[in-house]
Structure 1
Amino acid sequence: MLSAVETASNRPNDKPGDVSGHVPLRPAVEALPPYVPGARPDPGARVWKLSSNENPYGPLPSVVKAIADAALDTNRYPDMYASELVAALAAHVGVAPEQVVVGNGSVAVLAHLLAAVVDAGDEVVFPWRSFEAYPIAVAVAGGRSVMVPLAEGGRLDLPAMAAAVTPRTRVVLVCTPNNPTGPVVHAAELEELLAAVPTNVMVVVDEAYLEFVRDPEAPDGVDLLRRYPNVVLLRTLSKAYGLAGLRVGYAVAAPRLADGIRAVSTPFGVSHVAQQAALASLLPAAQAELMERVEALVAERARVVAALREQGWDLPESHANFVWFPLGDSTTERAAGARAAGVLVRPFAGDGLRVSIGEVEANDAFLEVAKSWR
């Protein structure tokens, strides 16, 4: 007599050794678009990696020491609520600790806040094209994505987003600066959106690239948070602070919303090593040095954009650590050409290319590639 496993493995259409073929996945999971990370160099390849919006500078020596010291406690569970880090972030932002929730990168925090407020069939409004994780996170939460096309110049069309809100809408996602196009939302237009959206709809202001913004019309997220209790700020230490490999993101929200996000968060979601690295990065001396690096990247962004415009490119105004090329159907071909020339960029098939600001040598290499496209 065959065992249950043997019987299952011999059913028609099953792959050899696959006994899971008849376990149904949720339809939303079956239909998920894959998250496509930035291309990585092949082993041994000599290429510049401008595909993932990473900070090109390594951690500060003081942060490396904190990482090494924390590694000695890897046999212990981390502080589940990252209490010391939460207090440091609250002081940094200027809010109460009970308003801060940390997670395994801002993507994880996004998933947690959606889990806290979205029921099956609820709507989440967001711009498109925008952060690639949005439709994935919404589908996993059981929600329905309402994608609002971008306006001219890669900008968010906030009036259209406000018009897309219905009684089933639970969340509106505002990515500023918008990833992957780069423009920042202006304070006046965000105020108009908040005035139009019902107060029972959460408005998430995703500020992953906040530190790179130099537009005087950009909103003050903390001020908005104080005046609109339905606003949640989403931030990260991956970009400006150079901790992409350790995954530290956080939300800032009204205490009741923060409690709800915290309640559905992954237990022990931020490792002890990550917590200690983040704490070391938030110390005044370290933070001053890190912001000097950000200023250097902003200056390098300006140099790259000026050079590209001299080549004849008409690009959206970026306030992030990347630039956007709206190349349409030629996107994939151009990305392949850049890779062949030794530069990895991030293609979004049919839409355009996102190119991170990296080392001066990497940026110079890409400028040569861009010149060849004219």
Structure 2
Amino acid sequence: MAALYPAHFKISTVIRPNILALQPYRCARDDYNQGTLLDANENAFGSSIVASASTDVLPDELKETLSMNLHRYPDPSHPAIKERIASLRGLSGADQVFLGVGSDEIIDLLIRVAVVPGGTEKILTTPPTYGMYAVCAQVNDVGVVKVPLELSGARGEGGAHGRFSANVEQIKQAVVADPAIKLIFLCSPGNPTGTLIPLASIRALLEFHEFKGIVVVDEAYIDFAEDVQGSSAASLVEQYANLVVMQTLSKSFGLAAIRLGIALAQPPLIQILSNTKAPYNISTPTAHLALSALSPESIARMQSVVSGLVAGRTALIAGLSELAPFGVGPVIGANDANFVVVPILARPTGAEGAQGAPDSVRAHAVYKTLAEERAVVVRFRGHEPGCAGCLRITVGTEAENTEVLEKLKDVLGEM
């Protein structure tokens, strides 16, 4: 077996000893999945769901689901799905792919396999970022070290957008100062920043010999980036043993309801996640839909939809810029995702309508009024570092984008 790269990384020192020694639960379907199956204590008479009950008729879209042998446990490994994902992301095989119940299961699993609970060992995050990293850390009783993203380009100066970037040098300093950090979580494109982290920055952390742990790159929004193949850390997986890339079918594929998360990594790490997960974590209906979504025709459809959303993002940003007289500041971030983040400024004052600073109180009031009185729901992010006064607005359909702009203008005009 070839030596793992980089040389300073040893999986045996990163993964908890009890996990390395774990004898994984062996599912009935790991051995056989055809024939007269009397090995898993399933209900041989089938599902108890009937086509009609009282006056409720089963919806047509669920009838196909009932034909999927729901009384049988699902495939525990789903190799066909993994092969399609590996092909889509330019990897050499299914053994570099892990499937989870959304990315959240993968985040939790990574913390559980690598970080000893009790608060001594830690993860590192780069706020503003996805909140589940810290939530899973707290659930697992591990510490969190925070190295905030840098915001360059003052908002409002010549109309320039603020740009978030990972402070690689500060991250390096943090892991040197605290060797108990086992995982670095990077969100790229960021949530809520919408900003890609350059592959050069990710490489710098993977190569940093003082950090013996794993770099986790969360790419939930990667398909909305301009150059997906050139921007994705998936291109680094086959080189770096200390890298995990997370992706999902929730965003670009439009399948948030089926909860299918993806981890891409070298086989030893994938095997550890597989040994630790729940035995049948991906349901049969989820697997069926995921396999369909990863067909060539569906991937082409996804890419077409993404193009439409990117065009809508451009139009939404243009529309928000026209609301500057009402106190909407320039969009922040680099806009590589399917949302935009804008600061709501203090109410314009004076004859010339001079703009104030980002105003979280006003932004929160706008958020509440939009939701409760105008039936338009956006996300208040004003308490995140670097996001004072900010609202996060998902790119919708053309009609939805028009609606949010019109109603945002109306609400701002009232407060």
Q: Normalising to structure 1: TM-score of the pair? A: 0.77
What's the secondary structure of 2:179's corresponding residue?
coil
Match of 1:319 among 328, 333, 336: 336
Do the aligned partners of residues 282 and 303 (structure 1) sit closer, same or farther apart at CA in structure 2, a change above 3 Å counting? same
Distance 1:237 1:198 in 2: 34
Whether contact under 8 Å (1:67, 1:277) holds in the other structure is: no
Letter paired with 1:304: L
Distance 1:307 1:211 in 2: 23
Alignment match, 1:76: 72
1:128-139 matches, within 5 Å, as 128-139=127-138
CA apart distance, 1:346: 1.4
What's the secondary structure of 1:164's corresponding residue?
helix
Could you report, residue by residue, the CA deviation over 1:50-79 in whole angstroms, capped at 9, with x for unpaired residues? xxxxxxxxxxxxxx9997534422222111
Identity between Structure 1 and Structure 2 (%): 28
Distance 1:326 1:116 in 2: 39
Whether contact under 8 Å (1:122, 1:142) holds in the other structure is: no
Whether contact under 8 Å (2:237, 2:265) holds in the other structure is: yes
What's the secondary structure of 2:200's corresponding residue?
helix
Distance 2:73 2:273 in 1: 21
* Greater relative CO, 1 or 2 (CA 8 Å, sep 6+): 1
What's the secondary structure of 1:235's corresponding residue?
strand
Distance 1:332 1:285 in 2: 42
CA apart distance, 1:280: 0.4
Q: Which moved more, 1:166-175 or 1:360-369?
A: 360-369
Alignment match, 1:174: 186
What's the secondary structure of 1:155's corresponding residue?
strand
1:88-237 matches, within 5 Å, as 88-95=84-91, 96-120=93-117, 121-152=120-151, 153=162, 155-159=164-168, 160-165=170-175, 166-196=178-208, 198=210, 200-214=212-226, 219-237=231-249
Letter paired with 2:74: P
RMSD: 2.3
1:4-83 matches, within 5 Å, as 69-72=64-67, 73-83=69-79
Q: Which moved more, 1:249-258 or 1:150-159?
A: 150-159
The number of residue pairs the alignment matches comes to 311
Distance 1:127 1:188 in 2: 17
CA apart distance, 1:264: 1.5
CA apart distance, 1:94: 2.5
Letter paired with 1:85: I
Distance 1:110 1:350 in 2: 23
Letter paired with 1:318: N
Do the aligned partners of residues 68 and 205 (structure 1) sit closer, same or farther apart at CA in structure 2, a change above 3 Å counting? farther
Distance 1:268 1:353 in 2: 38
Distance 1:213 1:257 in 2: 27
Could you report, residue by residue, the CA deviation over 1:188-208 in whole angstroms, capped at 9, with x for unpaired residues? 233333333645210001000
Distance 2:131 2:66 in 1: 32
Q: Normalising to structure 2: TM-score of the pair? A: 0.70
Do the aligned partners of residues 199 and 223 (structure 1) sit closer, same or farther apart at CA in structure 2, a change above 3 Å counting? farther
Distance 2:295 2:82 in 1: 14
Alignment match, 2:272: 260
Distance 1:260 1:287 in 2: 29
Whether contact under 8 Å (2:98, 2:270) holds in the other structure is: yes
Could you report, residue by residue, the CA deviation over 1:148-177 in whole angstroms, capped at 9, with x for unpaired residues? 222113614332223221210100001011
Alignment match, 1:346: 379
Point out 4+ residue stretches in structure 1 off by more than 6 angstroms: 64-67
Q: Which moved more, 1:255-264 or 1:67-76?
A: 67-76
Whether contact under 8 Å (1:206, 1:234) holds in the other structure is: yes
Distance 2:60 2:243 in 1: 37
Distance 2:87 2:229 in 1: 25
Letter paired with 1:93: R
Distance 1:127 1:357 in 2: 24
Whether contact under 8 Å (1:205, 1:221) holds in the other structure is: yes
Structure 1 unpaired stretches of 5+ = 1-63
Do the aligned partners of residues 315 and 115 (structure 1) sit closer, same or farther apart at CA in structure 2, a change above 3 Å counting? same
Distance 1:344 1:208 in 2: 21
CA apart distance, 1:101: 0.6
Larger Rg: 2
